[in-house]
Amino acid sequence: MYATAAMTPLRDEPDWRSGTVLINENDPTSVDTTGKWEKSAPLLPAGYFGPCLQAQGAAPAASISYYADMPAPAWYDVYAYVAGYGARTKHALYDLYDSSGTTVRTSVDESDGKRQGWVYLGTRYYTEGRHQKVVRLSNEGAEPSNPLTAAGGLMLLLDRRLSPGARLSGVSEGRSETPRRYELQPAFPNPFNPSTTLTYSLPSDSFVHVEVVDLLGRTVQTLVKGVYQGAGEHRVAFDGAGIGSGIYFARFEIDGAVQTRKLILVR
């Protein structure tokens, strides 16, 4: 709803909005699958990101592991999107990992047709860092006659009750006239439909190039084309009305240095 970060009134501290991490089960950079997974039929309940992935309950073994970039060391509430349907398994087994290597297992009934949405799996602690393994879903407990479904991804929400002092990376503690370093902040909103805003900071006058690319690295839209811009904070909007839903990347280039941010367009 809000285009920019907001400080808590009368509180000179970082933005306290919860850090949200969304993982699409169809994103090859964030998941790793074993065994045979297929997209479900169009008439079956869809997941958060569209068609679900399904694996048979019988052998051979099948699993899907989710990896996330954690924005701050903190406790996170972990949720899975479930699209309940009578012909799906009653025993979808989720293994929740944390940064210490400890694993906790929980089971979700996917056969409940009234269950359409995010289901709480547990709360785990993660350190800040990229590409951390957070959850593994497997068909170990599924009935042979019913499929197991990865219905639309995973969501992690920073738990402020357990981690009141957590500070999100990319959130500045104050506004200064001139930023100290180059930075491309996370897009907001993200996921989005159909537009989002990118904010970037320049410590000095620079030539800037910002574009959006697809998973194959092909340019989808050029937002800033080699423009000389002054030091400070800049914003540019990306409108995805003319392209399909899916995973894209905002690519920010300045003086040979490149940063990217993941974009998730949903319909």
- Find all residues with CB under 8 Å of 183, minimum gap 6, and list them: 170, 200, 201, 259
Label residue 92 exposed, middle or buried (CB < 10 Å: 0-12, 13-18, 19+): buried
- The answer to whether residue 169 is domain-embedded is no
Read off the pLDDT of residues 39-70 as tens digits, 9 standing for 90 and up.
887 777 777 777 788 888 776 888 999 998 88
Q: Which residues of 199-215 are buried (b: 16+ CB within 10 A; e: fewer)?
A: bbbbeeeeebebbbbee
Preceding amide of 189 cis, omega within 30: yes
Q: Output the CA–CA distances (angstroms, integers) from residue 206 to 137, 237, 253, in the order listed.
A: 46, 20, 10
Q: Which of 119, 141, 158 is the last residue of a domain?
A: 158
- The answer to whether residue 172 is domain-embedded is no
Largest Cα–Cα distance in the chain?
A: 63
- The model scores a pTM over 0.75: no
135 with 199, same domain: the answer is no
150 with 193, same domain: the answer is no
Confirm if 177 and 204 have CB atoms less than 8 A apart: no
Read off the pLDDT of residues 180-223 as tens digits, 9 standing for 90 and up.
667 778 888 889 988 888 888 888 878 889 999 999 989 999 99
Q: Which of 125, 158, 191 is the last residue of a domain?
A: 158
pLDDT value, residue 10: 44
The CATH number assigned to the domain holding 83 equals 2.60.120.260
Strand 246-254: give its sheet, edge to edge: 219-229, 206-213, 246-254, 257-265
- The answer to whether residue 163 is domain-embedded is no
Residue 229's domain spans which residues? 183-265
Read off the pLDDT of residues 157-176 as tens digits, 9 standing for 90 and up.
888 888 877 776 543 333 44
Task: Count how many domains the chain has.
Answer: 2
Read off the pLDDT of residues 125-158 as tens digits, 9 standing for 90 and up.
999 888 899 999 998 888 888 888 765 688 898 8
Q: Which of 94, 123, 158 is the last residue of a domain?
A: 158
37 with 132, same domain: the answer is yes
- The answer to whether residue 168 is domain-embedded is no
The DSSP H or E segment spanning 159 is none
25 with 153, same domain: the answer is yes
137 with 194, same domain: the answer is no
The CATH number assigned to the domain holding 243 equals 2.60.40.1930
130 with 196, same domain: the answer is no
Both structure tokens of 109:
């009934």
